[in-house]
A and B are shown apart, each in its own frame.
Chain A
Amino acid sequence: MPALKGVGLLKGLGVTLKTMTRPAATRQYPHVKPDLPARSRGVIALIEENCTVCMLCARECPDWCIYIDSHKEQVAPKEGGRARTRNLLDRFAIDFALCMYCGICVEVCPFDALHWSPEFEYAEHQIEKLTHEMDTLRTWAYSVPAPDPLEEGAIEPKEIESARKAREAVAAKAAAAAEQARAAAPPVPAPAAAATQPAAATTTGAAAGTATTTPTAAAPTPVAGDAAPAASAGAAGAGTTTAAARPADVEVEPGIDQATYDRLLAAGESDRTARAKAKAAYMRRAKAEARAAQAAGATEPAPAPAAPAEAAAPTQVPAGEGAPAAEPASVETPAAATAAPETAPPAPSAVGTPEGAEPAADARDPDARSPEGDPTASGTAAEVVAPGAAAAQADAEHLEIEVDQETYDRLIEAGEPERTARAKAKAAYARKLRAAQRDGGGAGS
């Protein structure tokens, strides 16, 4: 029996007595709700309008707890274009009894349809009730908080960066256009219909900007931080306006961009890939040219308002066939451009009008789903924000990544394995490409 000297015993008593006199560290949970941070993994919320049924989340889920049903639908061709098929979401359910809350689905979702909401009070008495369908998942989207700003020294996320540049570009353009409009006499060549439409379109964007106080509006901006309101406004502007410009789609003869093809083959790509990419490149260029020509003509009742197209321009990146949203080439029509920023602030009520609803619904069109038969397609400002941000991100994600030959050679010489060299070279290429686009966009085409 070691001697019980007693000093340690008394000290222990002192510690507990001291603690007793201090306030408790616990909080009375049902009365006091926990203050959860924005990144809290409480429950997965779905913004179903953003979902393109790409199935990435369901495939990447480590325990396969996401159930997705969809059907294909033919979309009527517009203006003589060819018909497209599109996946429509029938069911999106998450079994939270299986879910391990790893967040991989949210991370891989390319269109920001999935978000973490800090809500956690959804316990059930029966395990099967933990499988939540889209309607429930949608309601959680309203409590998705704005993300935290990043620590000092962090790299600005590309979504925020592009939104910020877009915002700056739009502001610069508007200022320039206003200047120009004041200098020149107002020509007003656009027909009445065209005039109302850009107004409506821009109001949706503006309304989205002002609506960031509502949870939904804040929700879809993935990494906005303190720039959140601005970013969503910018992104929303881009989204809606590109969509409004979409009817200006043109048909061009398919062809192949020989230069790209050769380059890709040389870079060691397979023939098939090279051909596809070359074709895509050709089509892009051809369409852009055709559209530019069309806009220059400007006699047909094209509902393609220039202002939206301009707003879209800064964030525009060649998105390939997959994302026609970003396709419209920038065209200069100063009058409409001036109209947009000026009419924007006072006109949120216009959102509800048929003219407003039309482009808004269209805005969700390219990547999301058809406006017909969709109960949520009311074209409210808040909903339009989402596809905007999604499109912006989609653009960023869907770069055509090729190999930066210079880097590749350098790395191979440095003794890197072939694979690593290629990966790094690709990364380098992507970086360059994006930088180039950003600069181009920032300069304001």
Chain B
Amino acid sequence: MIDAARDLLDNYWVLMPVKVLAVLAIFLTFPLVVGYMEHKVMAHMQARLGPMEAGRFHGVLQLVADGIKFVQKESIIPKAADKWVFALAPAVALIPAILVFGFIPYGPDLVPIRSDVGLFVTLALSSVSVIGVLMAAWSSANKYSLMGGIRAAAQLIAYELPLVLAAAAVAMQAGSADLAVIVERQGWWGYIVGPLVIGFFVYGTAALAELTRPPFDMPVADSELVFGHLTEYTGLRFAFFLLTEYAGIVSQSAIAATLFLGGWKGPFLDGPWWLAAKVLALSFVVIWARSTYPRLREDQLQSFAWLRLVPVSLALLLVVGFLKVYEVGI
């Protein structure tokens, strides 16, 4: 029976839809879970309860309700907007966010798309979303949106570098850019024991900035730019951007967990659940930071990226290379 199923799955045309469906399922559940978690965690950190009504039990279906609401809303395109770009932008932001989920190793043999440069593909994909943001910002024909878009672009350039450098340190340590191999070469404690813990913090900070999450949310700063590129969006398109944001949190957490925290490995019972737990824990930290910190200023962020994170990650690369060459094990 199991053998028969294996044989069946060996067929590409059977396996492919299964993989697509699985990735889509992950994409449609985890961001929602994280979204719900953001509602609740942030609420409790702010001495309130958050959603309590939808879905009877503590508002578990709040995001579903929100989704239904967004579908009902009128989709407004401003008169001066560049209509095609405006309409396409949410898709450009959303699709790469979905694709990233295909490259994550969920278990020993659970890698939907295995690639020997998986690490860089995921990083590249996750930064494509910013193109969508830029498109949205430019096409909205709104000054606030435009400034948000420019900030987003500047932020992306500034933070892609430390992000990639920190990831490169991991790749160097593992001796491979294949995410599955990287996980396999880690202990269940991951790479955070050792010099790569600095890489973890650099990566985490850079990922927060790339996600435009507080304290690096200047591109959407609501009190300055009235939500930047999101200003003119309504209805389903707006919902797509929101979904992109939550999907981004999940995928960045998943990449970080894979690179630094041992992915699906755990002290016992290795499997995807460990990855899920790590993703949720990292998402919690992301939400925690949001509910605690004010945002930095764009120039402060830039100087922080170029003057702090880039040198640190370069130094880290150097240290890891040195240790690797002289075979001082980590």
In the complex, the answer to whether A24 meets B43 with C-beta atoms within 8 Å is yes
In the complex, the answer to whether B45 meets A20 with C-beta atoms within 8 Å is yes
Instruction: Determine how close the nearest CB of chain A comes to the CB of B202; give it in whole angstroms.
Output: 13
List B residues 282-321 near A (Cβ within 8 Å): 288-289, 291-293, 300, 303-304, 307-308
A-B contact count (CB 8 A): 41
Q: Which residue of A lies closest to B48 (CB)?
A: A26
Given A13-B288, A16-B292: A1 and B44 interface contact (C-beta under 8 Å): no
In the complex, the answer to whether A13 meets B292 with C-beta atoms within 8 Å is yes
Q: Which residue of B lies closest to A10 (CB)?
A: B292
Indicate if B115 sits at the interface (CB-CB under 8 A): no
Residues of A within 8 A of B1 (CB): none
In the complex, the answer to whether A19 meets B292 with C-beta atoms within 8 Å is no
Given A22-B47, A24-B43, A28-B52: A16 and B291 interface contact (C-beta under 8 Å): yes
Q: Which residue from A1, A4, A17 sits with its C-beta under 8 Å from B45?
A: A17
List B residues 188-205 near A (Cβ within 8 Å): none
Q: Which residue from B45, B52, B304 sits with its C-beta under 8 Å from A19?
A: B45
In the complex, the answer to whether A1 meets B304 with C-beta atoms within 8 Å is yes
Residues of A within 8 A of B304 (CB): 1, 4
Bound: A12/B307 CA distance, A: 25
Q: Which residue from B47, B292, B300 sits with its C-beta under 8 Å from A12?
A: B292
Residues of A within 8 A of B45 (CB): 16-17, 19-20
List A residues 1-18 near B (Cβ within 8 Å): 1, 4, 9, 12-13, 15-17
Instruction: Determine how close the nearest CB of chain A comes to the CB of B286; give it in whole angstroms.
Output: 12
List B residues 25-51 near A (Cβ within 8 Å): 41, 43-49
Against A, the Cβ 8 Å flags (1 = close, 0 = not) of B49-90 are 100100000000000000000000000000000000000000
Instruction: Determine how close the nearest CB of chain A comes to the CB of B214; give it in whole angstroms.
Output: 12
Instruction: Determine how close the nearest CB of chain A comes to the CB of B55; give it in whole angstroms.
Output: 15
Instruction: Determine how close the nearest CB of chain A comes to the CB of B181; give it in whole angstroms.
Output: 34
The 10 sampled A-B contact pairs (Cβ below 8 Å) are: A1-B300, A4-B304, A9-B292, A17-B288, A19-B44, A19-B46, A19-B47, A24-B49, A26-B47, A26-B48
Residues of A whose CB lies within 8 Å of any CB of B are 1, 4, 9, 12-13, 15-17, 19-20, 22, 24-26, 28
With A13-B292, A20-B44 given, name 19 new contacts (CB 8 A): A1-B300, A1-B303, A1-B307, A9-B292, A12-B292, A12-B293, A13-B288, A16-B292, A17-B288, A19-B44, A19-B46, A19-B47, A20-B41, A20-B45, A24-B44, A24-B48, A24-B49, A25-B47, A26-B49
